[in-house]
Amino acid sequence: MTPGEDELRRTVAALSERLDRVERLLAGAPRPAGGSATLEPAPALVELARSAEAGRALAADLLSDSDISRMTQQVESWEERRLRYPLAVKDLVDASRAIAAGAPGTPGRTRAEARYRELLPEVGDLRRLRETLDRGALDARDALAADARRRPRDADAIEAGDRARTRLRSEVRAMIAERVAAGGPLPRWFTAVLGSGPAESAGEWLTAATDVVVYRTTYGVVDPIDALGEEPEDVDHRWSEFARIGRELSRWRVRTPPSPPPPDDGAVPVVVRVRA
């Protein structure tokens, strides 16, 4: 275990212990009155978010295991056909020469003619396949080579991003739990979707709240009313997170109860008609 990993493990363990105490408080005790709470991220959290997002972006540029498997098979198939084509052409030429040299009806010419008829469609198929596969296989080969160069180069930054993401979520979760339990007003963007605290399932509520604050911290959202700010224009990772968290918040969003119907006192409504 590296020194950085050991430090991260100790930090997460301490945060988890602190968070367990606060979650028990949230689940079983009323919120005390008074005090104040803010959920604006400290500079240290912003830096963690920046590191986590940088590592995520680098990891996203790497090929997935399924992509590597598919491209590797594509390149191997192309190389096999590329090597087979000249051999098949040579066999076809040899059969053609044997036909030209042999007398009609002799066993040697008959075998050469059968071999020629067998090879001719194979050579045509190989030629067409090679032309079809060349571009895609070359692109796949280049992508695999670029990925192989990128992985060792970006490994440290991706690992640092993973550590930063773990610490960021732990710090934010603990911050929310402690400040909600401490009482006092919360930002409007927070209470509009999450209320002032969990009525049930404190752990799940804290996970949703953590997702919101981490999103705002990562993407610099400062909207005082809307928790996630405006919907991103580009359909990318941020947009996916925006949509995912939005679905998650539908469970916790504060709903204004409908207005009660007017009391029925048995009175008959009076309709006044006015003549023109």
So where are the chain's domains?
Answer: 41-167, 181-252
Q: How confident is the model at residue 100 (pLDDT cuts 50, 70, 90)?
A: confident
3 state SS of 258: coil
Q: Which residue has the higher pLDDT, 228 or 273?
A: 228
Average pLDDT, the chain: 80
What is the structure's pLDDT at 149? 95
What is the structure's pLDDT at 247? 93
Give CATH for domain 41-167: 1.10.287
| Predicted local confidence at residue 144, as pLDDT | 95
Q: What share of the chain is helix, strand, coil (3-state, %, to 5)?
A: 70, 0, 30
The pLDDT of residue 65: 93
CA dihedral 171, 173, 178, 180 (to 10 degrees): 140
pLDDT at 131: 65
pLDDT of res. 222: 93
By the 8 A CB rule, do 112 and 102 touch?
A: yes
CA 229 vs CA 79, 97, 158, 256: distances in Å? 51, 76, 28, 21
Looking at mean pLDDT, say which of 15-29, 155-169, 180-194, 259-273 comes out highest. 155-169
Whether 51 shows a pLDDT value over 90: the answer reads: yes
Angstrom distance (rounded) from CA 145 to CA 123:
30
Least confident of 7-16, 51-60, 145-154, 182-191: 7-16
pLDDT over 70 (residue 97): yes
| Both tokens assigned to 260 | 């009660």
Residue 266 pLDDT more than 70? no
Torsional class of 39: left (φ above 0), alpha (ψ -120 to 50), beta (otherwise): alpha
Q: For residues 173 and 217, what is the distance between their CA atoms, to the nearest angstrom?
A: 13
Banded model confidence at residue 82, pLDDT cuts 50, 70, 90: confident
Q: What band does 32 get if pLDDT is binned at 50, 70 and 90?
A: very low
Nearest to 168 by CA among 211, 220, 204: 211
Query: What is the rounded average pLDDT of the residues 31-38?
Result: 45
8 has pLDDT over 60? no
Query: Greatest CA span in the chain, whole angstroms?
Result: 119
Q: Is the pLDDT of residue 208 over 70?
A: yes
Q: What is the pTM of this model?
A: 0.64
